[in-house]
Amino acid sequence: MPEVAIQTRDLTKKFGDFTAVNQISFDVRRGEIFGFLGANGAGKTTAIKMLTGLLSPTSGEGSVAGHDIHSESEAIKKKIGYMSQRFSLYDDLTVKENIRFYGGVYGLSRHILRSKYDEILEKVDLKDEIDSRVGSLPLGWKQKLAFSIALLHEPKIVFLDEPTGGVDPITRRQFWEMIYKASEDGVTVFVTTHYMDEAEYCDRVSIMVDGKIEALDSPVELKRSFSAKSIEEVFIELARGAENSDG
């Protein structure tokens, strides 16, 4: 595993005339929590989809876990976990069945899966709900479960696309504790969010405006260079010049 977990050079995605992601270049170091900030429509999800192999880039280079995103997307998929913006567990399956299915797809044996059930349920505090349908759980629990399932196959890198959208502050706090825990275990965390307070929890933060990365540094450095009190102020400062930030 190289020191650089994710690397992009001039990565670009165009949909017809519209350039969703415009020549972004950045490195994510192994083990760090990398915050990927931007307004709605700034291109965060498009960028994350290119890195996870869901979308092929129009131009530019990129590598994830040492594999080229153009030619080795299936190799990348074995090493990454992904939690999409949309909730993506099966509502009509139980907690246990969801864990079993996704684990099985990643090639985990039934023996390993048995130990995983306890581990995950312990982690998200869902012991009594193992046989409940996921559809009946509150959103916060679902999100925590989805995160645990993204980590099920012990990936080196995990991509989280707005994982805390719509959940209450307490659950958000718990969610971030889970992120810290994963990071301590050596997992590189690539997280998008539009909660600016969450940006403060990250090791480094990039701010995307209109498909371009306008700033990239640690939260402390960002605040100093923009002489702002919070990341929110930095963000507003940068977003003010945007034309189609809400597209």
Q: Residues near 128 by Cβ (< 8 Å), separated by ≥ 6?
A: none
**DSSP letters spanning 86-142:** S--S-TTSBHHHHHHHHHHHTT--HHHHHHHHHHHHHHHT-GGGTTSBGGGS-HHHH
Inter-axis angle of helices 95-105 and 139-150, nearest 10: 20
Helix (H/G/I), strand (E/B), else coil: 9: strand
Q: Which is nearer to other proteins, 147 or 226 (CB)?
A: 147
Cα separation, 175 vs 141, whole angstroms: 10
Q: Which is nearer to other proteins, 159 or 201 (CB)?
A: 159
Rounded to the nearest whole angstrom, what is the least distance from the CB of residue 220 to other proteins in the complex? 33
Rounded to the nearest whole angstrom, what is the least distance from the CB of residue 42 to other proteins in the complex? 19
Rounded to the nearest whole angstrom, what is the least distance from the CB of residue 128 to other proteins in the complex? 21
Cα separation, 94 vs 188, whole angstroms: 29
Cα separation, 221 vs 217, whole angstroms: 6
Chain positions contacting other proteins, by CB under 8 A: 49, 52-56, 73-74, 77-78, 80, 82, 84, 86-93, 97, 100-107, 109
Whether the Cβ atoms of residue 159 and residue 193 lie closer than 8 Å to each other = no
Q: Which is nearer to other proteins, 123 or 133 (CB)?
A: 133
Rounded to the nearest whole angstrom, what is the least distance from the CB of residue 238 to other proteins in the complex? 29
Give the CA distances from residue 134 to residues 97, 116, 143, 215, in Å, rounded to whole numbers and listed in that order: 9, 17, 11, 39
Q: Residues near 93 by Cβ (< 8 Å), separated by ≥ 6?
A: 101, 133, 134
Rounded to the nearest whole angstrom, what is the least distance from the CB of residue 61 to other proteins in the complex? 16
Q: Which is nearer to other proteins, 34 or 102 (CB)?
A: 102
Rounded to the nearest whole angstrom, what is the least distance from the CB of residue 51 to other proteins in the complex? 10
Q: Which is nearer to other proteins, 67 or 204 (CB)?
A: 67
Q: Which is nearer to other proteins, 86 or 240 (CB)?
A: 86
Q: Which is nearer to other proteins, 72 or 200 (CB)?
A: 72
Residue type, 117: Y
Q: How many angstroms from the chain centroid is the CA of residue 152? A: 15
Rounded to the nearest whole angstrom, what is the least distance from the CB of residue 58 to other proteins in the complex? 9
